[in-house]
Every structure is written in C-alpha cells, then in structure tokens.
Amino acid sequence: MNLPNRLTLFRIVLIPILVLIYLFPYAQFNIELQSYVIGSVTLPAVNLICLGIYALSAFMDFLDGSIAKSRGLQTTFGKFADPIADRMLATTMFVLFASRGIISPVPVIMIICRDIVVDGCRMIAAANGKDFEAHMLGRVKKIAQTIVIALILLNNLPFELWGLPVSEVLLWFSTFVSAASGIAYFNQMKEDIMESK
C-alpha cells in the first residue's frame, strides 16, 4: 500500500478518536478540562483538541492528494477510499454537533441523503465501466463544510464577538451546495439510472 493510501486510512482511523474525545463523559471521571473565555464566548478545550485533530485530517487530505498526483500514485483504492474518508469525517462531525443540539438535524439529514445518492451514482458508474468525474459544486461543498466545521468548533469565533451568525449561514450554504452537487451527479448518471432495459 502506497503512502497516499496510508494517509487516507489514517484519516479514517482519526474519526473514532474524534468521537471519543468529543463525547467522552469527562465529569463522570472527575476530569476537568479547561475552558477559555474570549469576550462573551466560552471556548471549551475539548473543542480546540477536536479542531486540532480535524485540521490534521484536512491537511493529510491535501497531502495525500498532492503526493498521489505528483508521483503518479493514484490507485483504484485511493479513488474509492479518499471521498469516503472525506464524507465520513464531515458527516460524523455534523452528527456530533446535532447530537449536542448545536445545529439543526435538518442539514445533517440533507447531507446524508445527498451522499447516499452520490454513492449510488458511483456504483452505477463503476458497474457500467464509466468514469465518475468530480463536479465543481462538490469541491465547493467540501471547502464550505471544512470551514463551517472549524467555525462551529470555535463557537463561531471571531464572528460571534460581533453578533454575526457566520457559522450558521455557512452551514446552510454548504447544505444547499451539497444538495445541488448531488443533483448534478445524478444528472451526470441520469441516462444510466433511468435505463429501462
């Protein structure tokens, strides 16, 4: 297994670690984690730890893609696992936020449904021996989700200090872009999906 694929697998391994750190019942074990107060905003240390792990995963995503392209190490496994690692991480973070009541479950449901549609399109493309090309909206969605997850972990800092709901606006923006990219991917495979043989 080459280096980019190892980095992709490591990103997947980081997901349960993130979940454990975020949901661990620290109080039950008499573990006190520090919180930082910036203006009127309280920022728990656990959020900063999760942000660090999330940033590491995002950097490795950039790194494995760059190495694979520059060294000609693109593999079938990489094409399969890389987008799965991306979606697993982003979806996990949104589910965690929804479980704590930080965000509405509606965008989470929309994002999960979109990913199911895209996975179905990928399977049909693979079965028909077709290339499933990445759509520009998919790239925009990925960037928007990366930024909004970081902002939520930062409790919308620094924008919260000025009363600007940037993280919420970006969440809905990324959700609608996600839905639009799902429709674009569906249209890309529409002829194969609607085939009536």
Q: Check pLDDT > 60 for residue 196.
A: no
Alpha carbon separation from 192 to 3, 34, 113, 125, 135 (Å, rounded) = 35, 54, 20, 8, 18
The residue ranges of every structural domain in the chain are: 3-193
Tell whether domain 3-193 is in CATH 2.40.50.140.
no
Q: What is the pLDDT of residues 137-192, one digit of tens each?
A: 888 998 999 999 999 999 999 999 999 999 999 999 999 999 998 888 888 877 77
Residue 65: band (very low, low, confident or very high) from pLDDT cuts 50, 70, 90? confident
The pLDDT score that the predictor gives to residue 90 is: 94
Q: What is the C-alpha separation between 80 and 98, in angstroms, rounded?
A: 27
Section 93-97 average pLDDT: 96
Residue 106: band (very low, low, confident or very high) from pLDDT cuts 50, 70, 90? very high
Owner of token pair 């940033």: 55
| 83 preceded by a cis bond (ω within 30 of 0) | no
Specify the amino acid at residue 9: L
Residue 88: band (very low, low, confident or very high) from pLDDT cuts 50, 70, 90? very high
Q: Check pLDDT > 60 for residue 16.
A: yes
Q: On the CB side of 124, how many CA atoms lie within 13 Å of its CA?
A: 17
Section 30-59 average pLDDT: 94
The pLDDT score that the predictor gives to residue 132 is: 64
Q: What is the C-alpha separation between 143 and 47, in angstroms, rounded?
A: 20
Q: Which residues of 35-54 are buried (b: 16+ CB within 10 A; e: fewer)?
A: eeeeeeeebeebbbebbebb
The pLDDT score that the predictor gives to residue 166 is: 96
